[in-house]
């Protein structure tokens, strides 16, 4: 038996660890633009969902952040669509006109950027979002993986614990302070 284990280990070495970083570096938008990361989180136990929005400029400075709790038992896709809608309204309220909206929901991004018909459960929300986007000078909707959307994800998780909503303008919420610092550090490291 011992020989069998040795032979097995020799023939099946442990997989090597990936050398890629665990979180891709945060990349700023082009000069004059803003990047709005949005995310949604569902809490079935409490029958609610949370929305997180983080908006930064080309230097990585925080323009605004938001944690909003919705006392609705929405599913994940509906929550992601609502997060995009709230993010768009928040960017507009901050007076931003040239914005890249990023979400880890490929379905929502596809419905906005490629014209792919959305599922019926978010159709009306997407129609409303498209109307709202007409007010911006320029905009784009881009898919980002969860690892690249961590600040918004943390804000969405935080939203589940608030009564209604919390907004920060040009100030960093404590719940994402470490993530924002990490993002800006990686941004500076990439630019050299």
pLDDT higher at 190 or 150: 150
Question: Per-residue confidence at 190, pLDDT binned at 50, 70, 90?
Answer: low
In the predicted model, what is the mean pLDDT of residues 163-176? 94
The residue-averaged pLDDT of 137-150 equals: 93
**Each residue of 2-45: pLDDT tens digit?**
664 455 454 555 544 444 445 566 789 999 999 999 999 999 99
Give the three-class secondary structure for 8: helix
Please report the pLDDT score of residue 148 as a whole number: 86
Query: For residue 78, with 0-12 CB atoms within 10 Å meaning exposed, 13-18 middle and 19 or more buried, which class applies?
Result: buried
Is residue 65's pLDDT more than 50? yes
Q: pLDDT for 97-110, tens place per residue?
A: 999 999 999 999 99
When pLDDT is averaged across residues 115-144 and rounded to a whole number, the result is 95
Q: How confident is the model at residue 187 (pLDDT cuts 50, 70, 90)?
A: confident
Strand intervals (E) in the chain: 34-43, 48-57, 62-70, 98-103, 138-143, 165-169
Residues 117-128: what's their mean pLDDT?
96
CATH class of 2-191: alpha beta
**Cβ atoms of residues 101 and 54 within 8 Å:** no
Residue 57 has pLDDT above 90, yes or no: yes
DSSP 75: -
Three-state DSSP class for 104?
A: coil
- Round to whole Å and give the CA distance between 104 and 142: 9
């Amino acid at each position: 038996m011992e020989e069998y284990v040795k032979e097995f280990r020799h023939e099946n070495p442990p997989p090597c660890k990936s050398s890629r970083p665990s979180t891709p570096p945060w990349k700023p938008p082009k000069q004059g633009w803003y990047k709005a990361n949005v995310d949604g989180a569902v809490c079935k136990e409490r029958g609610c969902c949370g929305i997180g929005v983080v908006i930064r400029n080309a230097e990585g400075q925080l323009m605004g952040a938001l944690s909003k709790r919705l006392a609705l038992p929405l599913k994940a896709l509906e929550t992601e669509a609502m997060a995009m809608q709230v993010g768009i309204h928040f960017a507009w309220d901050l007076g931003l006109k040239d914005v890249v909206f990023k979400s880890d929901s490929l379905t929502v991004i596809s419905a906005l950027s490629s014209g792919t018909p959305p599922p019926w459960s978010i159709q009306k929300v997407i129609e409303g979002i498209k109307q709202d986007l007409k007010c911006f000078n320029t905009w784009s909707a881009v898919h980002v993986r969860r690892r690249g959307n961590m600040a918004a994800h943390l804000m969405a998780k935080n939203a589940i614990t608030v009564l209604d909503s919390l907004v920060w303008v040009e100030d960093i919420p404590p719940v994402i302070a470490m993530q924002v610092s990490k993002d800006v550090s990686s941004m500076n490291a990439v630019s050299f």
